[in-house]
Structure 1
Amino acid sequence: MDTYKFQEMTLTWLKGGTTHMDGGAMFGVVPKPLWEKKYPVNEKNQIELPSDPILIQYQGKNILLEAGIGFGKFSEKQIRNYGITDESMVDDNLVELGLLAEDIAIILMTHLHFDHACGLTKWVNGELISSFPNATIYVSDVEWNEMKNPNIRSSNTYWKENWEPIQSQVTTFKDSITILEDIQMVHTGGHSDGHSIVLLRQSGETIIHMADLMPTNAHQNPLWVLAYDDYPMTSVFAKQKWVNEALQNNYWFSFYHDAYHRMIKWSTDGKEIIEKLERTRK
């Protein structure tokens, strides 16, 4: 497992499962000759997209950022359509670290699309239960409301199987919320109406987790937004704001879906990588 010591925080990337989605959809209106130079694509025009939660250990708390795709949650048709090649090993990873799912105290959910939220619940003896029964789950109120009441478009990704067993554990927020003083969630909208980003701060340093506003390092350009985004112009403006702030202040960018990098720090003009933590590939 890849790890990074961020002053008083320890970050460990867990194995949350892997999908392979259409590259055109993942880069929206950007022409393929441009985006394929920045991110590899297979013969089916799919790009590899791991869904790896980050375990943050801080102030004696075990915190998950995102939840992975879970295990045993997909039909054969879904496995084919989503290009799923492996499922979550979060429980096994936690055991390797001397932990159990019951030791997770906090879960930060940037949004509740299936590839982020399927890991919140699991099947046990034919019943769906919470995967992390002792955790408080934070998500924006807009996202939580749409999760429970999806529209004709969002019903494909907001599944009752992922929210009904955990509804008593959920705490929502409106614009932003600060957790343990140094962790902030900020509602941005864009990818979904309730999408949020996460900032980890330590003594003048910041890691920004832009979730699906920047799913991979190849999505740094504010104009490169996903066809999956419900509100693409909101994504553009949110990315423009936060990418600019992050570049000017030397933030680390962390990724949930990048198959090659865990974190990157760019030069202030965004043109050069000055530091990086690569994803271990096995």
Structure 2
Amino acid sequence: METLSLGNWKLTWLNGGVTHLDGGAMFGVVPKALWSKKYPVNDLNQIELRTDPILIQTGEHNILVESGIGNGKLTEKQKRNFGATEESQVIEDLSKLGLTPNDIDIIIMTHLHYDHVCGLTNYDSSKGEYVSVFPNAVIHVSDTEWYEMCNPNIRSKNTYWEMNWQGIEKQVKTFNSEVTVVDGIKMIHTGGHSDGHSIVVLTQGEDILFHMADLMPTHAHLPSLWVLAYDDYPMTSIHAKEKWINEGLKQNAWFTFYHDAFYRAVKWNESKEITEKVERHR
């Protein structure tokens, strides 16, 4: 498990599973001749996308950012369509760190698409219903995202699934434009990828970290115009990327990733050259 220290805090990437999605869809209108130089693609035109939650240990709190794809949540057809070749090992990784799901007291959800939220619930056959995997956690998400999760439209119903919100309703705490989750951790609603999408900003003294979530799912998505065909509001994504990436570059911030198969975190200089990095052990 790769780690990063931010002040007195420790970040650890857990194994949440992996998908392989169409590279064209992940880079939108960007020609393959350009994006394939930045991120490898297989013979099926798919790129590897991790779904690895970040555990933040502050000394007072055990916080998860996202939850992975879970176990037993995808049908065989969905596994084929999403290129899901590995399911979550989050609970096993927590155990290696001396923790259980009951020790997680805060969960930050940037948005609630299946590949981020499936790990929050599992099916309890004795109760005949889905139950929370992390029963002691307060789950933070924007109110816009939570509303659409529970009331999906004709497009979003393909990723907002009832089984992923049943069982966690009483744990969810929503916010409007931004919220301080704990001192030093702020969620900011951006929209773009989804109407309720948020980013996360961590500050510890002079150290700062930006988790851009699916506005910048991999290091290869650094250019502002390189947005996903999956984005509901691509121009909103572009404007949000322009604002927050430039803000991070000015502050010499770390940028962390949930989906990147190669980097867990990077720092770029203002010429957009990588100056520091945490590579994923492959």
Percent same amino acid at aligned positions?
Answer: 62
Partner of 1:23: 23
Aligned residue type for 1:43: D
Deviates more, 1:138-147 or 1:4-13: 4-13
The whole-number CA distance in structure 2 between the counterparts of 1:4 and 1:195 is 24
Tell me, what secondary structure is at the counterpart of 2:266?
strand
Tell me, what secondary structure is at the counterpart of 1:128?
strand
Tell me, what secondary structure is at the counterpart of 1:41?
coil
Q: Is the 8 A contact 1:141 1:194 kept in 2?
A: yes
> RMSD across aligned C-alpha pairs, in angstroms?
0.7
Of 120, 134, 137, 1:132 maps to: 134
- After TM superposition, give the deviation of residue 124 of structure 1 in Å: 2.6
The whole-number CA distance in structure 2 between the counterparts of 1:96 and 1:266 is 32
Partner of 1:74: 74
Tell me, what secondary structure is at the counterpart of 2:258?
coil
- After TM superposition, give the deviation of residue 268 of structure 1 in Å: 1.2
Q: Does 1:227 align with 2:236?
A: no
Partner of 1:280: 281
- After TM superposition, give the deviation of residue 249 of structure 1 in Å: 1.2
Deviates more, 1:141-150 or 1:117-126: 117-126
The whole-number CA distance in structure 2 between the counterparts of 1:188 and 1:168 is 25
Partner of 1:105: 105
Partner of 2:92: 92
1:202-228 deviation digits (Å, cap 9, x = unpaired):
102111000000000000001000000
Q: Is the 8 A contact 2:70 2:120 kept in 1?
A: yes
The whole-number CA distance in structure 1 between the counterparts of 2:239 and 2:59 is 34
Q: Is the 8 A contact 2:7 2:207 kept in 1?
A: no
1:21-51 deviation digits (Å, cap 9, x = unpaired):
0000000000000000000000000000000
Q: Is the 8 A contact 1:176 1:185 kept in 2?
A: yes
Q: Is the 8 A contact 1:247 1:269 kept in 2?
A: no
The whole-number CA distance in structure 2 between the counterparts of 1:184 and 1:105 is 16
Of 246, 249, 252, 1:247 maps to: 249
Q: Is the 8 A contact 1:11 1:55 kept in 2?
A: yes
Deviates more, 1:42-51 or 1:3-12: 3-12
The whole-number CA distance in structure 2 between the counterparts of 1:179 and 1:168 is 17
Tell me, what secondary structure is at the counterpart of 1:92?
helix
Mind listing any 5+ residue stretches in structure 2 that lack a counterpart?
none
Q: Does 1:6 align with 2:23?
A: no
Aligned residue type for 2:87: E
Partner of 2:203: 201
Tell me, what secondary structure is at the counterpart of 1:139?
strand
- After TM superposition, give the deviation of residue 109 of structure 1 in Å: 0.1
1:148-206 deviation digits (Å, cap 9, x = unpaired):
00000000000010001100000000000002210000000000000000011010211
The whole-number CA distance in structure 1 between the counterparts of 2:50 and 2:85 is 10
Partner of 1:167: 169
Aligned residue type for 2:113: H
Tell me, what secondary structure is at the counterpart of 2:167?
helix
The whole-number CA distance in structure 1 between the counterparts of 2:59 and 2:225 is 38
Aligned residue type for 1:39: Y
The whole-number CA distance in structure 1 between the counterparts of 2:145 and 2:130 is 21
Mind listing any 5+ residue stretches in structure 1 that lack a counterpart?
none
Tell me, what secondary structure is at the counterpart of 1:118?
helix
Q: Is the 8 A contact 1:104 1:135 kept in 2?
A: yes
- After TM superposition, give the deviation of residue 59 of structure 1 in Å: 3.5
The whole-number CA distance in structure 1 between the counterparts of 2:8 and 2:122 is 32
* Superposition TM-score, scaled by structure 2 size: 0.98
* Superposition TM-score, scaled by structure 1 size: 0.98
Aligned residue type for 1:240: E
Partner of 2:158: 156
Q: Is the 8 A contact 2:18 2:84 kept in 1?
A: yes
Tell me, what secondary structure is at the counterpart of 1:208?
strand
Partner of 2:39: 39
Partner of 1:192: 194
Task: List structure 1 runs of 4+ shifted beyond 2 angstroms.
Answer: 124-127
Partner of 2:262: 260
1:106-135 deviation digits (Å, cap 9, x = unpaired):
000000000000001012325311010000
- After TM superposition, give the deviation of residue 3 of structure 1 in Å: 1.1
